[in-house]
Structure 1
Amino acid sequence: MSQSRELQLHIAQMEEIRSILNAMKNLALIEIHKLGRFQTMQGQAVINIENAAMDFLDFYPLPVIDKNALSIGILVGAERGFCGDFNESLLDTLNTETYAGIIAIGSRLGNRLADNSPDVIATIAGANVAEEVPIILNRLIDTISLLSVAKGDINKANKTTSTLQLTVTYHDNSTGQITRRQILPPFSQQQQRLSAYGNPPLLNLEPDDFFADLVDHYLFAVLHEIFYLSLMAENQRRLQHLEGAVKHLDDETVNLRRKSQIYRQEEITEEIEVILLNSEIN
């Protein structure tokens, strides 16, 4: 097979790969726009719950936090590839933190942790698209509930007692950085706030019951927000990575086409020379 023909076959293969990568890039872009809408609504829901919590805590102080609380780290990684060092950068944060146990979100991240850490409590497959986030959160909440039961976290006499400290580490698309966020015990940042109202809020439940339900709603909302932010950051990384790969393929294809033309010209010249030589002999 001639060199120009081999190059043409190589170019065809690269164009096929380029088409696949470009489709993946477009899917990432669509997911980013969709997640942007979800995250905006979820972020507002979290703000509303936090504002309600502040009004409540102005008159009903936080319960005493167990000093022996079990510190659990939740790392939100990427389930799929083509997003650079997304998972590796999360692993680097463990060098500055000490957790009694780690819950890994994302199979790839879980596999890396299993090789390096004996403290992995559970590995949960991550979300590929926004619609899978609620399913992943249900699995995560089930895992946290099992930890709570094992640690004696459920106290029927006082639902506000917590012996778990949960910290989520994730890529925050809004800041472009890795963020650590303590979600349990919640609302610790509200303790220094001055009261905004003179009268306590009217409650239809006992304060302890109200706060327990408020924490449940808050955890569900804030975990949704975190997962949307992380998935947005993952798809943004993937978009940048694939754009670079597509551009590289385009540049290589241009170079190969140029080489193919040169080889083809040389082959045509050789064919003409052979024809002329045969005509002279005849």
Structure 2
Amino acid sequence: MTAQLQLRERAALLGDLRQIVQAMKNLAMAELQRLQRSQPALAEAQTTLEAAWVQLADPAPRPEGAEAEDRIWLVIGAERGFCGAFNAHLADAVSMLQARPGQTLWLAGQRLADAWQASRPAGAPEAPVRVLPGCGALDEAEPVLAAWLQA
């Protein structure tokens, strides 16, 4: 009798597991369909970014008074975490770049901006750093890229 009961319990457990696996498959399919729908928008964003990079890299003459060492740096931080000290290392690099004359710094991501603020010595002079929105998920990419291009 106990063997039959054990078999029934095992069959019930296998039925539950089958339902869980099916639910996971359904979630994976829904995510795949969502990503496929976002593909055209991502391709358009990539094209827009490539055009922007071409414009930024254009070897046009520098404006009057601009030095050869003048640079604009876009430093892109991690928004989600799980990256160890990535933002802290970037914040250190931002501080080093900032010490050089003629450097304009744009920080993409609030976590990076917070890490940079935390790493600055007390009483340090205010620095011309622009904080841009960061992207923590695929759904946020298009508005974030638009904000960067508007900057």
What's the TM-score, normalizing by structure 2? 0.49
Max Rg structure:
1
Higher relative contact order (CA 8 A, sep 6+): 1
What's the TM-score, normalizing by structure 1? 0.29
